[in-house]
Amino acid sequence: MPRMRVVQVATKGGPFELVERELPEPGPGEVRVRVQACGVCHSDSIGKEGLFPSVPYPIVPGHEIAGVIDAIGAGVIGWEVGTRVGVGWFGGHCGRCEPCRRGDLVDCRNLRIPGVTYDGGYAEAMIAPADALALIPDELSPVEAAPLLCAGVTTFHALRESGARPGDLVAILGIGGLGHLGVQFAAKMGFRTVAIARGQDKEPLARQLGAHVYLDSRSQDVAAELARLGGAKTILATVTSGKAMSAVIPGLAVRGRLIVVGVGMDPIEVPALDLIGGSRSVVGHASGSSIDSQDTLAFSAFSGVRPTIETMPLERAGEAYDRMMRNEARFRMVLTTGL
């Protein structure tokens, strides 16, 4: 039987292990993807540390997968061997639960997630449901496409669903793995883009990414500065600090929205009057379905949005993961298989 290399976690909280497995065959409704690149995301800790009770061990992490279809299971329509595809956080839906029946596929109550509910992309090949696939444009390399399938779709889809229109003031809170893409998307969508980060040293990067205004949260009252600019129609919160999110809410315009995509452990706190007085709102946003990922890739290809990445070979997955978890990556770690 043909073999493949994978990096797995055998037990909850266990170490990464590079092992060989038999090359799997796709079942009905599935395809096999030869993985060329896989991004390393903070959410990979869910599989690594068993943060969801349903993680099946041993598990292969990874949900930012770029590769090529090399086998197709029975009943798959519309996909061909040799097609360049990506698989993101959205790894398939049940089609039966109420959110699915209403078209909210990413909120499926039985959502399948690569690297969490089934084996993901820290591997030379993986099996994915056909409904999880997104086309990768020719203009994007595998290492560029991979982070766009999680960090990319999360920020792109949140911004296009935000209600902001071209010319509106839109702020991106944080310039990291999510935020450096959020600034680019906001500027390319025609928003008057404000980048918010800690320290003046981030300003040159923010300007390079397309920000029209830079605010230093260390030395400036960000909410007051946003209000002085007319108020933000949207603030996209990519940081993991509830305190930092709370501080910017008064900078929202009337009917402005704080959209939360960064996952922090401390609570977001806001006086009721800050919401009621301007009919403001605080909302969460999940990443997006496979077609949202495909839209993200297509928009990035023609607009020039690209992730800033560091690459490592598959066998150094543990090193790449540790670097990401220490917030030392600039800005996304991507594993390569050499295929």
230: tokens are 């007319």
279: exposed, middle or buried (Cβ count in 10 Å: 0-12, 13-18, 19+): exposed
- Cβ proximity of 216 and 197 under 8 Å: yes
Report residues of the chain scoring pLDDT below 50. none
The CA radius of gyration of the chain, in Å to the nearest whole number, is 20
How confident is the prediction for the chain on average, in pLDDT? 97
The whole-model pTM stands at 0.97
Alpha-carbon span 165 to 189, nearest angstrom: 9
Distances (CA, A) of 118 to 37, 110, 196: 18, 12, 37
CATH topology classification for 162-284: Rossmann fold (3.40.50)
Per residue in 24-48, is it b (16+ CB within 10 Å) or e — as a string?
bebeeebbbbbbbbbbbbbbbebbb
Q: What is the pLDDT of residue 161?
A: 97
pLDDT at position 339 is 84
Q: Counting every residue, how long is the chain?
A: 339
Q: How is domain 3-150+288-336 classified at the CATH fold level? A: Quinone Oxidoreductase; Chain A, domain 1 (3.90.180)
Residue 265: per-residue pLDDT: 87
Q: Where do the CATH 3.40.50.720 domains begin and end in the chain?
A: 162-284
Task: Specify the domain boundaries for CATH 3.90.180.10 within the chain.
Answer: 3-150+288-336
Report the alpha-carbon distance of residue 114 to residue 61 in Å, rounded: 7
Are 13 and 35 a contacting pair, CB within 8 Å?
A: no
d(CA 229, CA 213): 10
Tens of pLDDT, residues 230-266: 999 999 999 999 999 999 999 999 999 999 999 988 9
The Cα–Cα gap between 132 and 138 comes to 19
